[in-house]
Amino acid sequence: MDKILSKIPPFEPGSVWLVGAGPGDAGLLTLYAYEALRQADVLVYDALVGQDILELTGPGTILEYAGKRGGKPSPKQNDITERLIALAREGKRVIRLKGGDPYIFGRGGEEALTLAAHNIPFRVIPGISSGVGGLAYAGIPLTHRETNSAVTFLTGHDASGEVPDVNWEYIAKGSPVIVVYMGVRHIRSITERLIRHGRSQDESVAIVFRATTKDQKIVVSTLANAAQDVEKSNLKPPALIVIGEVVKLRPDLDWFDRYLASEIED
């Protein structure tokens, strides 16, 4: 382990590392992310980063919350990026810690472009995206040889907070498996669009809440009933929506719930 960690590049003062925290389980952090947390002077973190991950920071690390949650008062993106620049110019080693992966619906690209424009040295540490790790913990493989050879990742809302203006017909007809991030608020509109453009009302859907954590809950439904089943569940985001035949594999592949059940019995 020490040999691997010794090869991690030094975290230089005056630089910003955009770090992916993964989908929730602290054990899914990369070694680079873990080492960066130990060295950082300041940690600017998102709403979806758990307390167990924050506790991995060094004793002198300053924690600054910059969480953005839909429908709630949140820091403006420009303010967050300006804060990163100001901290770096003070000579701090700054981590911008994001749930999942910084470059997958995480605004990491926006922040990196602004840092580059201001000549702030930065590094990107990828994380396991919730659309990959979260579904694995839900017992749903993204691909399976007998069901699909393609996947579409889609955000459930655009920059204005509305349903994204994408070609829903192409998505409905062209992708056997669709994974929607941040889509619970618009789940009715999303499922209606897919049905309107040719998806079967009976197609399997799973909504995975708080993926990879001890609070993980899953609603399994159909495209026609998903919105009302989510409403009945009273479960709240964060959540992922996955649509496709791979959902039917969950009864055999649901290792995580069985693992938690065995822990409780022990």
Are 106 and 152 contained in the same domain?
A: no
Strand locations in the chain (E) = 15-20, 42-45, 62-65, 93-98, 122-125, 151-155, 177-181, 204-209, 217-222, 239-243
CATH number at residue 51: 3.40.1010.10
Q: Which residue has the higher pLDDT, 198 or 67?
A: 198
Q: What pLDDT, on a 0 to 100 scale, did the predictor assign at position 2?
A: 73
The range of the structural domain enclosing residue 61 comes to 2-128
Task: Answer yes or no: is pLDDT of 70 > 80.
Answer: no
108-117 helix and 77-89 helix, angle to the nearest 10 degrees: 50
Are 72 and 185 contained in the same domain?
A: no
Are 139 and 221 contained in the same domain?
A: yes
- Average pLDDT estimate for 220-243: 97
Report d(CA 169, CA 148) in Å as an integer: 18
pLDDT interval class at 264 (50, 70, 90): very low
CATH number at residue 224: 3.30.950.10
Of all residues in the chain, what percent carry a pLDDT higher than 90? 85
- Average pLDDT estimate for 49-74: 84
Residue 261 placed within a domain: no
Q: What pLDDT, on a 0 to 100 scale, did the predictor assign at position 160?
A: 84
Task: Answer yes or no: is pLDDT of 144 > 90.
Answer: yes
Query: What positions carry a catalytic annotation?
Result: 46, 68, 182
Task: Answer yes or no: is pLDDT of 127 > 70.
Answer: yes
Sequence-distant (6+) residues with CB within 8 A of 19 are: 32, 33, 36, 37, 95, 96, 97, 98, 102, 125, 127
- Average pLDDT estimate for 155-171: 92
**How far, in Å, are 1, 17, 102, 180, 242 from residue 20 at the CA level?**
21, 10, 5, 19, 22
Residue 265 placed within a domain: no
Q: What's the pLDDT tens digit per position in 27-51?
A: 999 999 999 999 999 999 999 899 9
Are 48 and 105 contained in the same domain?
A: yes
Strand locations in 142-213 (E) = 151-155, 177-181, 204-209
- Average pLDDT estimate for 100-125: 96
Please give the model's pTM, rounded to 2 decimal places.
Answer: 0.91
Are 47 and 162 contained in the same domain?
A: no
Are 54 and 150 contained in the same domain?
A: no
